[in-house]
Structure 1
Amino acid sequence: MDDVLAGQAIYRKDVLSFYDFSVNHVTMPWFWRCPVAEVQSLYDASVGARHLEMGVGTGYLPAHAQFPVPDPRITLVDLNPAPLAYTARRLSQYATTLVRANVLEPLPVQGPFDSAAMNFLLHCVPGSIEDKGVILRNAAAVVKPGGIVFGSTILSSDVPVTPQARLLMKVFNARGIFHNDRDTLAGLRTVLSGFDRHKLVVRGCVALFRVRP
């Protein structure tokens, strides 16, 4: 549990104010070699009218999303109250429900949802990528049949990792911000194979995935 808390502790109010610039315009294109537009495209193609957002960050992706309806209902789930409050303010034009919860445990939410997203969440959670598969299963349990669970994560093995990306991952893992030193593409494929229908695309060292429970 200490490692779980460490992975989300950095998302304080002062950090969230410059998070979008530092991540979307610096580390994403220059370190992870995956433009944020790639993640946004997956988001727009997958998000539903009743949506579950897990590990909410700053709410950048849902704030820029092309929802299929003008009035989506969004449930925000995070262990840290700071990003929950930040994202709720950013999405104030929508009906939102805030839930503080650990995504490694069964989710205390009212489903079923049309979609569930977990972008840049898995690499912040301790354990191997196979262990983190429980997060996808928890999401799938509250998504309706035919719904979509989707997301993205930064991998450390079996994908192209530049020297500067390797160095940044080492620093982030040492500080407990990341927990992805055992996150491999092969392991993620194993997790996704537990679903009948799944899709996986790699851009740089970022894996973008989508499953239908």
Structure 2
Amino acid sequence: MLDLNENSLDTASKAINGFKPEIYCGDVLEPLELDIEKFDSISVNYLLHCLPGDISQKGVTFQHLKSLMNHDGVLFGSTILGQGTDKNFFAKKLMGIYNKKGIFSNQNDDLDTLRKSLNEHFVDVKVEVVGCVALFSGKKI
């Protein structure tokens, strides 16, 4: 597990301690210089919409994580899109509150920019939208 927040890492690692997780503290918006074996897959579920900036700025995350992947490795994840999706009243209200508080930063995150950013770093990119959530994957070459 990788996170910028050590408290989050501590809590999550205790919750799944039986799986013996490896814990790394780091910022995906910065180059990750970890002396570890490369991964066959990396998951970034519900991360991007919490990072500052828009999707084109957050795309550096894909570059940084790709450096930790084996050849033919797969990156997959999900993010909540702020633009271009139908949102019900509750979703609009909650996203507005979370963006105002700085928990989310996804007001301008859209499907086309996400797809473009993924295609800059991966092949066999797949993106599916369910509600206002984009589910995505891409393969490193």
Regarding TM over 0.5, the answer is yes
Q: What is the SS of the residue equivalent to 1:136?
A: helix
Q: Give the TM-score of the pair, scaled to structure 1.
A: 0.62
Query: What percentage of residue pairs aligned between the two structures are identical?
Result: 38
CA deviations 1:15-45 (Å, max 9, x no partner) are xxxxxxxxxxxxxxxxxxxxxxxxxxxxxxx
Q: Does 1:197 align with 2:133?
A: no
Q: Gapped runs of 5+ residues in structure 1?
A: 1-75
Aligned match of 2:72: 146
TM-fit CA distance, 1:111: 3.0
| Structure 1 residue 108: Cα displacement | 3.0
| Offset of residue 94 of structure 1 | 2.3
Residue 99 of structure 1 corresponds to which residue in structure 2?
A: 24
Quote the residue 1:137 is aligned against. 63
Q: Is the 8 A contact 1:101 1:108 kept in 2?
A: no
Give the superposition deviation at 1:164. 2.1
Matched, 1:181 2:104: no
Tell me how far 1:96 sits from its aligned partner: 2.3
Deviation at 1:208, TM superposition (A): 0.4
C-alpha displacement of 1:146: 0.8
| Cα distance in 1 between the residues matched to 2:89 and 2:117 | 27
On the 8 A contact 1:158/1:186 being kept in 2, the answer is no
Matched, 1:158 2:87: no
Whole-angstrom distance in 1 between the partners of 2:2 and 2:83: 28
CA shift, 1:160, in A, is 1.7
Which amino acid in structure 2 is aligned with residue 98 of structure 1?
Answer: I
TM-score for both structures, normalised by structure 2: 0.92
Aligned length: 138
> Post-superposition shift, 1:97?
2.1
Code of the aligned partner of 2:25: R
Q: Letter of the aligned partner of 1:124 in structure 2?
A: C
- Secondary structure of 1:150's counterpart equals strand
